[in-house]
Amino acid sequence: MSNTTPTLTGETPPPAPSAAETRSVEAQAARRKAKLRGGGKTVLFHGITWALGIVMLYPGVWMLLSSFRPSNQIIGEVGLIPRETTLGNFTRAFEGIGGVSFWTFFSNSMILGIGSVVGVCLSCSVAAYAFARIEFPGRKLYFGLMIGTLLLPFHVVIIPQFIMFNELGWTDSYIPLLIGKFLAAEAFFVFLMVQFMRGVPRELDESARIDGAGHGRIYWFIMLPLMRPVLATASIFAFIWSWNDFLAPLIYLRSPDKYPLPLMLRQFSDQTSVSDYGAQMAAAVLALAPVIIFFMLFQRYIVDGVATSGLKG
Amino acid sequence: MSLTHEASRESANSTPARRPRNGRPPRRGAETRAGYAFLAPWLLGFITLTAGPMIASLYLSFTNFHPIRDWGWVGFDNFTRLFDDPRFMDSVQVTGLYAVVGTPIKLAAALGVAMLLNNRRRGQGTYRSLFYAPSLIGASVSIAIIWKAMFNDQGIVDEIGQFFGMKPGGWVGNPDMTLPMMILLAVWQFGAPMVIFLAGLKQIPNELYEAAEVDGAGPLRKFFRITLPMLSPVLFFNLVLETINSFQVFASAFIISGGKGGPANSTLFYTLYLYQRGFGQGQLGYAAAMAWLLVIVVGIITLIFFKTSKYWVHYGGETR
C-alpha cells in the first residue's frame, strides 16, 4: 500500500491543449465531431449526475424534513414535503434523556473532538518530523511498523487495552478515548504528514541548521507553520471521526452524563422506540449538524485531502 | 532509560548512511538522540497501545479470561470452540458475504461515477462533494437510525418496493433482506474510493486516448486497454482498504439490530459478535481468540492481494 499512495500525491496538471492541437489531422477531426456531440452529452451528463445526486441526498433530506413532521406522519411517508410541521420533535430532543440535557452530550462530544484535534496535530506532526527529517538508525524499521498498524484491525488491541485501562482505573473517563490521539496512535495522520513533509524543500531546514538551529527549533518555527494545510486536513478528519466514534465510548463510558452524542442517540432511539420517530429524527439531525456544517465549510479541503492521502470517511 | 540504551546499541552496528552536510561532519549521536526524542510519543504509544496489547491478546486467546470469574490457561480450546459455535459461524458468513458482495459493488459504483465526473464540466466539484458526503457520515449512529427508519416495516423503501410489486414487510425484520440493506448502506458510501479513483484518472495522459481513437478503438476497448491498466495501482489501493474496512463494520449493525445482531443472526457481523462475547458476556479470552483470528484472516487476504498484484497491477514508469 505504501508504494501506491505516493503516486496519488500531487496531481499532474492537465496536458496543455497546445500540445494536443498539433496532433494529427484525424485527431482534430475527431475532436470537432466530439464537440458537436458535446451538447447532447452535457445534457446526458447533468441528467445522470442529478438523478444520482438525488438518490445520494434523499436519506439526508428525508431525515431533515422528517424531523419537522409529527411522529405519526413519518413512517410510510415517501414524499419529502411535510403535510404538517412541528418543532415539538426538537423540543423533546433538546430535553435529552434520563435527566441529562442535550447540551451536556453536545459539550462532551465537543471536548472529545477538540481534544482529539489537539492531540493528533501535536503528536502526529512530531512523529512525522522524526520520520521525514531526522536520519537515525532504526528509522526505517519504525516507519515500517507504523505503516503496518494502518492495516491492523483495531479489535485485536481493544480487549487488552480495556483490561489495562480498567486496572489503571481510567474507565468511565476520557483518558482511554484520548490517550491514543496524544501518542500518535492514528497512523493515518502520521503517514499523511510524512508525505506532506517530504514535499517541503530540504534547503529550508538545512539553511536553518547552518544558522545553528536544532531540530526542535526547525520543527517549531519552520515546519509547523508550513504544515498548515495538512494540519487543517488532519484536524477536520480527527474531529469528525471522534464526533462519530461509537465503539470506544460504548466500551469505556458508564455514566450517562459523560456520554458523547452517539451514545445519547442510541439510548434515545432505544427508549423512545417506534413510538416517537419524530424526536429520534430531530436528535439525529442535531447530532449530525456540526459535521454537515463542517463539511459545507471545508468541502474542498476534505475532498482533496481524501484524494491525495486515501483517507477514509 | 531503555530507549537511549537501545538507541546507542543500534547506532553502533548500523552503517554510516549520512553524507556530511556543508562540510561539517555529521553529528550522529546528536541526530540519534533527536530522532528518538521526536519519536518518543509515537514509540510510547506503539509499545503500550499496539505492540503490548497485541502480545497480551495473543496470550489471552489461550486463556478463558473473565474479569470476575477464575481463569486459567486453556490452550487452543477457544479456537476449537469457535468452530463449533453456530453463532460464530453465522458471523463469519455474514461478514464474508458482506465483504465479497459489497466491496466489488461499491468499487464499481465508485469507478463508474469517477469516470462520469472525470470530464471537465461545470459543476464537477459540486457533484464530487455531493457524492462524497455520505462517506463521511455513513458510519454515524444518526445514519444508522435513518437507515432503520427507511427500511422498516412501512418505511419508504418498503412503500417503494410494494409499488414495484414486492411483498410488503420491512427489510429490517426480514433475515433475508438485512444483508442487502447493509450492503446498500456500504455502497451508498462510495464517495471515498470515488475521490481516489478521480485522482488516479486525472493522471492518465490524454494522449493515450487520442492515439487509441485514431486507431479506431471504441469506448469498451479504451476502458479495458487504457483506463483499467493505468488505474490498477489505485484500484489495488482501494481494494485492499475497502476489503479491510468491510471486516470492521460495527456501529450501523449494532444500532439497526439493537445490539443483538438479529433477526436470526442476519446482522451478526464479526465485530458485533466479538463485542457481545467480550464486553457483553465478559468472555475476554474467547473474544481475544476471535480478534486474533481476524488479524490472521486480514493478514492472509492482504498477502494474497500483494502477491497477486504483480499480475494485474501496473506501475507507470516501471520497466520489466
Asked if A291's CB is within 8 angstroms of B291's CB, the reply is no
Terminal-residue alpha carbon distance, chain A:
18
Say whether both B123 and B221 belong to one domain. yes
Do residues A107 and A257 make contact, with C-beta atoms less than 8 angstroms apart? no
C-alpha A269/C-alpha A284 separation (Å) is 9
Angle at B177 between CA B258 and CA B263, to 5 degrees: 35
Indicate the DSSP class of residue B169. S
3-state helix, strand and coil shares in percent for chain A, rounded to the nearest 5? 75, 0, 25
Q: What is the dihedral of CA B166, B167, B171, B175, to 10 degrees?
A: -120
At position B18, the amino acid (one-letter code) is R
pLDDT digits (tens, 9 = 90+) for B112-171: 999 988 877 777 788 888 899 999 888 899 999 999 888 887 788 888 888 887 877 778
Which residues numbered 68-97 in B keep a CB inside 8 Å of some CB on A?
A: none
Q: How far is A159 from chain B (nearest CA, A)?
A: 7
Say whether both B184 and B46 belong to one domain. no
Q: How far is A137 from chain B (nearest CA, A)?
A: 6
Peptide bond into B263 cis (omega under 30): yes
Which residues are CB-neighbours of B139 under 8 A, at least 6 positions away? A244, A246, A313, B189, B251, B252
Predicted TM-score of the model (pTM): 0.85
pLDDT digits (tens, 9 = 90+) for A244-284: 999 999 999 999 999 999 999 998 888 776 668 888 899 99
At position A52, the amino acid (one-letter code) is L
Say whether both B259 and B287 belong to one domain. yes
Count of structural domains within chain B = 2
Closest residue in chain B to residue A300, using alpha carbons only: B129
Instruction: Produce one character per residue of B143-158: b if its CB has 16 or more CB atoms within 10 Å, e if not.
Output: bbbbbbbbbbeebbbb
C-alpha A263/C-alpha A114 separation (Å) is 18
Asked if A53's CB is within 8 angstroms of B14's CB, the reply is no
Chain A residue numbers touching B21 (CB-CB < 8 A): 206, 209
Do residues B222 and B209 make contact, with C-beta atoms less than 8 angstroms apart? yes
DSSP string, A172-192: TSSHHHHHHHHTT--HHHHHH
Do residues A113 and A175 make contact, with C-beta atoms less than 8 angstroms apart? no
At position B158, the amino acid (one-letter code) is D
Asked if B302's CB is within 8 angstroms of A277's CB, the reply is no
Closest residue in chain B to residue A164, using alpha carbons only: B53
Residue appearing with cell numbers 486453556: B74
At position B227, the amino acid (one-letter code) is T
pLDDT at A17 over 60: no
Do residues A174 and A249 make contact, with C-beta atoms less than 8 angstroms apart? no
Chain A CB within 8 Å of residue B111 CB: no
Q: How far is A267 from chain B (nearest CA, A)?
A: 10
Could you tell me the residue range of the domain that residue B26 belongs to?
A: 22-60
Interface contacts (A, B; CB < 8 Å): 336
Residue in B244, B284, B315 nearest the CB of A163: B284
> Whole-number mean pLDDT of chain A?
84
pLDDT digits (tens, 9 = 90+) for A142-196: 999 999 998 888 889 999 999 999 999 999 999 999 999 999 999 999 999 999 9
Q: ipTM of the predicted structure?
A: 0.84
Q: How far is A108 from chain B (nearest CA, A)?
A: 16
Residue in B113, B192, B271 nearest the CB of A52: B113
Say whether both B225 and B87 belong to one domain. yes
pLDDT digits (tens, 9 = 90+) for B211-233: 998 998 888 999 999 999 999 99
Angle at A60 between CA B143 and CA B238, to 5 degrees: 65
Say whether both B39 and B114 belong to one domain. no
CATH of span A89-307: 1.10.3720.10
Residues in chain B: 320
Residue appearing with cell numbers 495522459: B205
C-alpha A285/C-alpha A279 separation (Å) is 10
Say whether both B235 and B153 belong to one domain. yes
The answer to whether residue B263 is domain-embedded is yes
The whole-number pLDDT of residue A82 equals: 83
* Chain B interface disruption, residue of A37, A131, A136, most B CBs within 10 A: A136
C-alpha A106/C-alpha A95 separation (Å) is 12
- What's the count of helices (H) and strands (E) in chain B, helices before strands? 17, 0
C-alpha A137/C-alpha B149 separation (Å) is 56
Asked if B237's CB is within 8 angstroms of A310's CB, the reply is yes
Asked if A308's CB is within 8 angstroms of B199's CB, the reply is yes
The answer to whether residue B3 is domain-embedded is no
Q: How far is B11 from chain A (nearest CA, A)?
A: 6
pLDDT at A40 over 80: no
Asked if A295's CB is within 8 angstroms of B195's CB, the reply is no
CB-CB neighbours of B186 under 10 Å: 22
Do residues B60 and B20 make contact, with C-beta atoms less than 8 angstroms apart? no
The answer to whether residue B65 is domain-embedded is no
Say whether both B56 and B81 belong to one domain. no
The whole-number pLDDT of residue A15 equals: 44
Say whether both B99 and B128 belong to one domain. yes
Residue in B46, B129, B134 nearest the CB of A299: B129
C-alpha A112/C-alpha A116 separation (Å) is 6
Do residues B171 and B151 make contact, with C-beta atoms less than 8 angstroms apart? yes
The whole-number pLDDT of residue B153 equals: 79
Residue appearing with cell numbers 510519543: B41
Coil vs helix vs strand at A100: strand
Asked if A62's CB is within 8 angstroms of B127's CB, the reply is no
* Chain B interface disruption, residue of A193, A295, A306, most B CBs within 10 A: A306
Chain A CB within 8 Å of residue B54 CB: yes
Which of B60, B88, B108 terminates a domain? The answer is B60
Which residues numbered 208-247 in B keep a CB inside 8 Å of some CB on A?
A: 210, 213-214, 233-234, 236-237, 240-241, 244-245, 247
Nearest to A64 by CA among A55, A74, A72: A74
Domain spans in chain A, listed from the N-terminal domain onward: 19-66, 89-307
CATH of the domain at B127: 1.10.3720.10
Nearest to A292 by CA among A245, A252, A240: A240
The whole-number pLDDT of residue A217 equals: 93
Say whether both B32 and B95 belong to one domain. no
Q: What confidence category does residue B17 fall into, taking pLDDT thresholds of 50, 70 and 90?
A: very low
C-alpha B224/C-alpha A254 separation (Å) is 54
Closest residue in chain B to residue A299, using alpha carbons only: B129
Mean pLDDT computed over B166-187: 89
pLDDT at A19 over 50: no
Q: At A135, phi and psi to the nearest 5?
A: -100, 110
CB-CB neighbours of B218 under 10 Å: 9
Say whether both B194 and B284 belong to one domain. yes
